[in-house]
Amino acid sequence: MCGIIGYVGKKNSVPYIIDGLKKLEYRGYDSAGISILQDGKLVTVRAVGKVAELEKAALLASPQGTTGIGHTRWATHGKPSEENSHPHTDCSGEIVVVHNGIIENYLVLRAKLISLGHKFKSETDTEVIAHLIEENLKHIRGNNEEERLVKAVQRTNKEIAGAFAYGVMWAHAPGLLIGVKNQSPLVIGLGKTESFLASDVPAFLQHTHKVVFLEEGEIALLRAGRVTVLDKTGAERTIKSVKISWDQKTAQKGGYPHFMLKEIYDQPQAIEDTLRTARADFGKILGLDTPALRGLQNVHITACGTAYHAGLVGKYYIEQFAGIPVSVDLASEYKYRTVPHKSKTLAIAISQSGETADTIGAVKKAKELGFRTLAICNVLGSTLTRLCDSTFFTHCGPEISVASTKAFTSQITAMYALAISLGLANGNVSKSSFDKLYRELMHLSKAMSEAVKMEYTVRHLTRKIYKADRFIFLGRHVHFPIALEGALKLKEVSYRSAEGFAAGEIKHGPISIIDKGTPVFMLMPQGPLFEKMLSACQECRARGAFVVAITTPDAEQQAKSVSDKVFLVPPVNEFLQPILMVVPLQFLAYWIAKRLGCDIDQPRNLAKSVTVE
Ligand code: F6R
Give yes or no: residues 437 and 475 share one domain. Answer: no
Residue 232 in domain: yes
Burial of 257 (0-12, 13-18, 19+ CB in 10 A): middle
For residue 403, which atom of ligand 1 is closest to its CA?
7
Q: How far apart are CA 95 and CA 156, in angstroms?
A: 13
- C-alpha–C-alpha distance, residues 109 and 127, integer Å: 10
Beta bridge partners of 329: 302
Residue 278's pLDDT is 66
pLDDT reported for residue 162: 87
Domain-terminating residue out of 379, 408, 442: 442
Distance of CA 312 to the CA centre of its chain: 21
What per-residue confidence (pLDDT) applies to 184? 81
CA separation, residue 449 to residues 271, 438, 445 (Å):
10, 19, 6
Which CATH number goes with the domain that contains 44?
3.60.20.10
**Helical H runs in 24-105?**
51-61
State how far the alpha carbon of 107 is from the alpha carbons of 8, 113, 166, 187, 280, in Å.
32, 10, 18, 28, 12
Is 612 inside any structural domain? no
Q: What angle do CA 374, 378, 381 make, to 5 degrees?
A: 75
* DSSP classification of residue 140: -
Alpha-carbon distance 100 to 199, whole Å? 8
Counting as low any pLDDT under 50, the low residues of the chain are none
Ligand 1 pocket member 277 (CB < 6 A): no
Q: Are both 204 and 344 inside the same structural domain?
A: no
* Cα atoms in the Cβ-side hemisphere of radius 13 Å centred on 320: 20
Between the CA of 486 and the centroid of ligand 1 the distance, in Å, is 14
Tell me if 447 is assigned to some domain: no
Residue 56 bears catalytic tag: no
Residue in 260, 264, 308, 352 to alter for ligand 1 test, most ligand atoms within 8 A of Cβ: 352
402 Cα: distance to centroid of ligand 1 (angstroms): 8
- How far are the Cα atoms of 117, 144, 149 from residue 138, in angstroms, in the given order? 13, 14, 11
Question: How far is residue 85's CA from residue 51's CA, in Å, rounded to a whole number?
Answer: 12
CATH of residue 286's domain is 3.40.50.10490
The CB of 357 under 6 Å from ligand 1? The reply is no
**Helix H or strand E encompassing 37:** strand 31-38
Q: Same structural domain for residues 247 and 361?
A: no
Tell me: do 436 and 295 sit in the same domain.
Answer: yes
The atom of ligand 1 lying closest to the CA of 359 is 16
- Does residue 220 lie within any of the structural domains? yes
Q: Which of 425, 420, 468 is nearest to 314 (CA)?
A: 420
Element (H, E) at 35: strand 31-38
Output DSSP code: residue 555: G
Cα of 287 to ligand 1 centre, how many Å?
26
The closest-lying atom of ligand 1 relative to the alpha carbon of residue 609 is 15
394 lines ligand 1 (CB under 6 A): no
CB 69 within 8 A of CB 60: no
Report how far ligand 1's centroid is from the alpha carbon of 39 (Å): 49
- Alpha-helical segments (H) within 238-374: 248-252, 259-265, 267-278, 282-286, 290-295, 305-321, 331-334, 357-368
For residues 239 and 363, membership in a common domain is answered with: no
609 lines ligand 1 (CB under 6 A): yes
Phi, psi angles (nearest 5°) of residue 270:
-60, -40
How many residues comprise the chain? 613
**Ligand 1, pocket-test mutation among 329, 355, 356, 588, most atoms within 8 A of CB:** 356
CA angle, corner 602, sides to 600 and 606, nearest 5?
Answer: 120
Q: Which of 79, 112, 446, 608 is catalytic?
A: 608
If asked whether residues 521 and 384 sit together in one domain, one would say no
- Name, in order, each residue with C-beta under 8 angstroms of 610's C-beta and a sequence gap of 6 or more: 304, 356, 357, 358
Residue nearest to ligand 1 atom 5, measured at CA: 305
Catalytic residue among 2, 377, 540, 598: 2
Identify the domain containing residue 179 by its residue range. Answer: 3-252
Crossing angle of helices 577-595 and 480-494, in 10° steps, is 20
Question: What is the Å distance from ligand 1's center to 380 Cα?
Answer: 17
Beta carbons within 8 Å of 9's beta carbon, 6+ residues apart: 16, 66, 191, 193, 194, 195, 224, 225
Residue 570: phi and psi, rounded to 5, are -55, 140
Q: Atom 10, ligand 1: which residue's CA is nearest?
A: 306
Say how far apart CA 134 and CA 112 lie, in whole Å.
13
User: 353 CB under 6 A from ligand 1?
Assistant: yes
Are 174 and 309 in a shared domain? no
Peptide bond preceding 340 in cis form (omega within 30 of 0): no
- Give the model's pLDDT for residue 201: 83
What separation in Å is there between the alpha carbon of 331 and the centre of ligand 1? 12
Q: 38 pairs with which residues across the strands?
A: 41
Distant-in-sequence, close-in-space partners of 96: CB < 8 Å, separation ≥ 6: 35, 42, 44, 69, 87, 88, 89, 130, 168, 169, 170
Alpha carbon distance 302, 477 (integer Å): 19
Total number of domains constituting the chain: 3
Residue 99 and residue 10: Cα distance in Å, rounded? 24
Write the CA distances from 360 to 224, 323, 345, 363, 381, integer angstroms. 50, 27, 18, 5, 14
Residue 284 and residue 281: Cα distance in Å, rounded? 5
- 356 close to ligand 1 (CB < 6 Angstrom): yes
Identify the bridge partners of residue 35 per DSSP, sorted by sequence position.
Answer: 44, 69
Give the C-alpha separation, 52 to 81, whole Å: 16
Q: Which one-letter amino acid corresponds to residue 485?
A: E
Whether residues 372 and 416 fall in one domain: yes
DSSP conformation class of 215 = P
Backbone φ and ψ for 255, nearest 5 degrees, come out as: 90, -10
Domain boundary among 228, 252, 276: 252
Domain boundary among 418, 442, 466: 442
Residue 611 in domain: no
Nearest CA to ligand 1 atom 16: 351
- What would the 3-class secondary structure string for 545-600 be? CEEEEEECHHHHHHHHHCCCEEEECCCCCCCCHHHHHHHHHHHHHHHHHHHCCCCC
Same domain for 474 and 405: no
Residue pair 613/361 in contact (Cβ under 8 Å)? The answer is yes
Phi and psi for 124 in degrees, rounded to 5?
A: -80, 160
**Closest ligand 1 atom to Cα of 407:** 14
Cβ pair 218, 232 in contact under 8 A: yes
Cα of first residue to Cα of last residue in the chain, in angstroms, is 28
Q: Is 492 in the pocket of ligand 1 (CB under 6 A)?
A: yes
Contact 578, 478 (CB under 8 A): yes
Residue 404 near ligand 1, beta carbon < 6 Å: yes
Q: Does residue 613 form part of some domain? A: no
485, 610, 611, 612, best to mutate for ligand 1 pocket (most atoms within 8 Å of CB): 610
In this structure, the answer to whether residues 521 and 438 fall within a common structural domain is: no
- Would residue 608 show up in a list of annotated catalytic residues for this protein? yes
Same domain flag for 133 and 205: yes
Shortest-distance Cα residue to atom 9 of ligand 1: 305
Is 80 in contact with 381 (CB distance < 8 Å)?
Answer: yes
Q: Are residues 144 and 68 in the same domain?
A: yes
* Mutate which of 404, 405, 408, 484 for ligand 1 pocket (most atoms within 8 A of beta carbon): 404
CA of 305 relative to ligand 1 center, distance in Å: 5
| Mutation choice for ligand 1 from 258, 304, 377, CB with most ligand atoms inside 8 A | 304
What span, in angstroms and rounded, lies between the C-alpha atoms of 78 and 123?
A: 5
Which pLDDT value is given to residue 277?
A: 65
484 CA from centroid of ligand 1 (Å): 13
